[in-house]
Amino acid sequence: MIPATFAYHRARSLDDALAKMAAAGAGGRFLAGGHSLVPLMKLRLSEPGTLIDISRVAELSGIREKDGRIEIGAATVHHAVATSPVLNDRCPAVAEAARTIGDAQVRNRGTIGGGLAEADPCGDYGAVILALNAQLKCLSPRGERMIPAAEFFSFAYTTALARDEILTEVIIPALAKHSAGVYLKLERVAGDFAIASAAVQLSLDDGGSCAEVGIGVTGGHAVPTKGVAVEDLLRRKKITPELVAAAGQLIQADAEPIEDMRGAAQYKKKVLGAILRRAIAEAMRRAEAKPSS
């Protein structure tokens, strides 16, 4: 299919992108890797009048560690996220999520910011930013603001971003030294969107109990969700096999999955419980393997 006619402008900087969006008015849309937006345009499900290409805005790219927190520029491509030494070392759940996305072409063009702004119910980064309590830095003509991950997704394909607002950075707060994380995903075939996925980030205290924990899942609802009840269940307890089983049951009981080509609701509930149990067990294994200081 051929998209409807549109104008194309490449932004040279963040200020230039905002100015071009203001000039474009209601028909303006930011373009990053184009791996979600262009297919929608070809199907005429999206018909922006003007595309403002932000993929080469230098301020939007790169992964930096500052005072223990990690800042990921929104236009950083999935491949750079997947292979980042700092992410693989300090925060592997993010890199693991990026590695499961699509194929090599998608990972070399698609961006973390585009993936989050698209808010596909089965997208991979949602669970991870919720487990890590990430902050999303955004910029618009009205100024800069931070959106906590838990407030970012409003509904399927809908976020808290205003039309003229750019997501500039994903900020992962400093993690405890012994904190360990994991991202696990069940997919129909390699490179597909998730049927269900779970991200778990946890740290243990000196006695081996769970000191802090973050849980994010996809597949349970129309949006990725933070497993607040599961976090409360695990916090300050010894994580026994019985507790892990109870966590799986809790996430299943809360789930109201969308029925689609990836499975019936009952099936998705079951695999969501199973993938969360496995993710908690793996995060525990990684936390226990960390050298004590």
Sign of CA dihedral 218, 222, 225, 227: negative
| Nearer of residues 114 and 273 to ligand FAD, judged by Cβ | 114
Distance from C-alpha of 158 to C-alpha of 275, rounded to nearest angstrom: 25
CB of 244 to ligand FAD, least distance (A): 26
The pair of structure tokens assigned to 227 is 């497993």
123 binds ligand FAD (CB under 6 A): yes
Pick between residue 187 and residue 211 the one whose CB is nearest to ligand FAD: 187
Query: Cβ of 259: how many Cβ atoms within 10 Å?
Result: 11
Radius of gyration of the chain (CA): 19
Q: How far is the CB of 240 from ligand FAD (least distance, A)?
A: 33
As a whole number of angstroms, the distance between CA 134 and CA 146 comes to: 10
Pick between residue 117 and residue 131 the one whose CB is nearest to ligand FAD. 117
- Six-digit token string for 202: 């946890």
Rounded to the nearest 10 degrees, the angle between the axes of helix 241-254 and helix 265-289 is: 140
Instruction: Pick between residue 185 and residue 226 the one whose CB is nearest to ligand FAD.
Output: 185
Question: Which listed residue (20, 35, 99, 277) binds ligand FAD by CB under 6 A?
Answer: 35
Closest-approach residue to ligand FAD (CB): 110
3 state DSSP class of 201: strand
Contact, 13 vs 59, CB < 8 A? yes
Interface residues for ligand FAD in 132-171 (CB under 6 A)? 161, 166-167
Segment interacting with ligand FAD (CB under 6 A) among 3-11, 98-106, 198-206, 234-242? 98-106
Quick note: the x/- pattern for ligand FAD over 181-220, rule CB under 6 A, is ----------xxx---------------------------
227 forms part of the interface with ligand FAD (CB under 6 A): no
What is the smallest separation between the CB atom of 182 and ligand FAD, expressed in angstroms? Answer: 17
The beta-strand segments (E) located in the chain are: 7-10, 28-31, 50-53, 63-66, 69-73, 135-140, 143-148, 153-155, 158-159, 166-172, 180-187, 194-204, 210-218, 225-226
Which residues here bind ligand FAD, judged by CB under 6 A? 29-37, 54, 74, 101-102, 106, 110-111, 113-115, 117-118, 123-124, 161, 166-167, 191-193
